[in-house]
Chain A
Amino acid sequence: MSFDVPDDRGYMESHEWASDEGGTARVGISDFAQDELGDIVFVEFPDEGAEIAHDEQLGVVESIKAVSDLYSPVSGTVTATNDELLDAPELLNDDPYGEGWLVEVDLADESGLDELLSADEYRDQIE
């Protein structure tokens, strides 16, 4: 089975991604992660305004069969949350890189995305 790993973003070993939106970053989970979890039924993430830090807990995602912690790929301030996920957590399964995004973050510093795995490096990890 092969999983979608878009080249235009960086990845965490723990299967979150962040995309550079010019000063802010959008954060979500990978196609591999959503497939491993199975049917996602619940998601919890910080409120707008919250400070989050790279590799620290960002929230929780629950599928029918498992609970999984989410880790933040970036450091900064949450500027937007995808509240549609509260009523439709299945968007995380259906469109993990698009409509299933979790939060947007105002990056604390420019180097924010540099320490993430590239798409190629992440592909090697999940193969």
Chain B
Amino acid sequence: MALRTPPLGAAHEDRGAKTTEFGGWEMPVEFDSIRTEHESVREGVGKFDVSHMGEIVVSGPDADELMNRLTSNDVRTVDAGTAQYAAITDADGVILDDTMLYRLPESHSDEFLFVPNAGNDVAMEERWESHRDEWDLDATVENRTEEYAMIAVQGPDSADLVAEATGDDALAELPNFAATDATIAGSEGLLARTGYTGEDGFEVIFPSADAEAVWEAFDCQPCGLGARDTLRMEAGLLLAGQDFDSEENPRNPYEAGISFAVDTDTEFVGRDALAAVEESGPDERLVGFELDERAVPRHGYDIQNGDGETIGTVTSGTMAPTLGVPIGLGYVPADHADPGTEIGIVVRGEAKDAHITALPFYER
């Protein structure tokens, strides 16, 4: 199957980016060095092409009901021009995807836009359409992933750069999780104060045809998926398909540590199963850990208890560039999840000392 390429693909190639396959897309993984890019975002500002993220628009009289019944949070509390994080779960409460959803500003004829993870756009479009039909709701669902480019501008200096790129100082004051119309390089799109790095930052969604002009309007370090991954790990944020995966590693939001995105007072697919987990507590939990020895934890490595028994699996790990220590995420039994608990991470057959830490590892 041919890989999908973002509208900026040729520009990245000219810039000398190394690329990688991710979620069916060929995306830049590294422009200069992961460490350089990571530090730019922590100390200044960097930009990421995240056009592999999906964009699905939902509108019509029953748009609210359709969104509310397919996402774990309460969309009725989302005002026009604001965003909400939610899980998309199946009837067993297993996370199929996590998403940022936006109730679009009132200037739009469409009601909602939501952002599935790379490669999940078609499955989510079908999920929305089939449930709409099953529930006989009056709503339109449109997958616009190919029509848009998405760029994240992240870091403590991102607000200055947004003011510069839009020529509108007021946009630097956009509240967290707010979304508004913006014009960049003569192109009209959506600007939101959201991100995936643990820093202040913005994400912009613009027509694909204008992607290059919008990308160039932000004069800062280009960053690839490599730095995006180390930044999100330090911030303790989940990566779909790695920290949860409906087939390989099915997890519910309570296990995955995102129960804040679940409102069991609303009716949604998976609600009953999750109400039971809320009541009993999950058997296993996602934890953060830090290694006390030299080694780098990686996805798939075993986690042991103090007696050398395997109790879980690493889902993400890296040498944390900002913190300077090896960190990771993984699932362990709930009674082993307290910060300070000593564990072992099995690296090439040898258990390395580690301990569980509170999440996030890094907070601005």
Contacts and interface: CB of A to CB of B under 8 A. Distances in A.
Q: Do A and B come together as binding partners?
A: yes
Nearest to A66: B298
B226 A41 contact: no
A38 B296 contact: no
Q: Which of A1, A60, A62, A65 has the most CB of B within 10 A?
A: A65
A64 B230 contact: yes
Contacts of A45: none
Given A60-B348, A64-B321, A42 B34 contact: no
Interface string A61-78: 011110100000000000
A41 B319 contact: yes
A38 B348 contact: no
Nearest to B295: A42
20 contacts: A38-B18, A38-B30, A38-B33, A38-B226, A39-B33, A39-B34, A39-B35, A41-B296, A42-B294, A42-B295, A42-B296, A42-B319, A62-B296, A63-B34, A64-B34, A64-B230, A64-B318, A65-B29, A65-B34, A67-B298
B16 interface: yes
A126 interface: no
Contacts of A39: 33-35, 321
Nearest to A43: B294
Contacts of B318: 64
A41 B35 CA distance: 10
B156 to A, nearest CB: 22
A63 B319 CA distance: 9
Nearest to B298: A67
Contacts of B296: 41-42, 62, 67
Interface in A76-101: 86
Q: Which of A1, A39, A63 has the most CB of B within 10 A?
A: A39
Interface bracket on B = 10 to 19
Given A39-B33, A42-B294, A65-B29, 11 more contacts: A38-B30, A38-B34, A38-B226, A39-B34, A41-B296, A41-B319, A42-B295, A60-B348, A62-B319, A64-B34, A67-B296
User: Sorted from nearest, which 3 A-B pairs have the closest CB atoms?
Assistant: A41-B319, A39-B35, A64-B34
Nearest to B348: A60
Contact of B226 (A60, A62, A64, A86): A64
Interface string B70-92: 00000000000000000000000
B294 to A, nearest CB: 6
A64 B16 contact: no
Contacts of A63: 34
Interface in A33-56: 38-39, 41-42
Nearest to A65: B226
A1 B16 CA distance: 9
A94 to B, nearest CB: 11
B152 to A, nearest CB: 19
Contacts of B298: 67
Contacts of A41: 296, 319
Interface string B291-304: 00011101000000
Interface string A5-43: 000000000000000000000000000000000110110
Contacts of B295: 42
A86 B295 CA distance: 11
Contacts of B348: 60
A64 B294 contact: no
A10 to B, nearest CB: 27
A41 B34 CA distance: 11
A97 B318 CA distance: 26
Q: Which of A1, A39, A64, A86 has the most CB of B within 10 A?
A: A64
B29 A64 contact: no
Contacts of B321: 39, 64
B75 to A, nearest CB: 37
Nearest to A41: B319
B224 to A, nearest CB: 10
Contacts of A65: 29-30, 34, 226
Nearest to B36: A39
A93 B252 CA distance: 41
A52 B40 CA distance: 41
Interface in B187-220: none
